[in-house]
């Protein structure tokens, strides 16, 4: 039994969406431990989400 190749694309999209959810479950206090600058641009969750969205656009356009 074989699955169509498009299912690999769907599984990848689901994995990236799940990863984006997991990124936002990281507590903010854990990210900013040891620094006084809590600027939004220093939040690693924002950057991780931006990269995940970029990857999702690649998979959604295939």
Of 25, 29, 47, the closest CA to residue 38 belongs to: 29
pLDDT bin (cut points 50, 70, 90) of residue 2 is confident
Instruction: List Cβ neighbours of 19 (8 Å cut-off, separation of 6 or more).
Output: 52
Q: What is the pLDDT of residues 9-62, one digit of tens each?
A: 999 999 999 999 999 999 998 988 888 887 888 899 999 999 999 999 999 886
Domain boundaries of the chain, sorted by first residue: 11-60
HSE (CB half, 13 Å, CA atoms) of 40?
A: 1
Res 1 pLDDT > 80: no
pLDDT of residue 55: 95
Q: What is the pTM of this model?
A: 0.81
């Amino acid at each position: 039994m074989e699955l169509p190749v498009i299912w690999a694309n769907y599984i990848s999209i689901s994995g990236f969406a799940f990863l984006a959810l997991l990124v936002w479950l990281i507590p903010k206090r854990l990210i900013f431990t040891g620094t006084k600058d809590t600027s939004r641009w220093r939040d690693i969750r924002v950057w991780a989400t931006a990269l995940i969205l970029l990857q999702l656009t690649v998979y959604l356009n295939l």
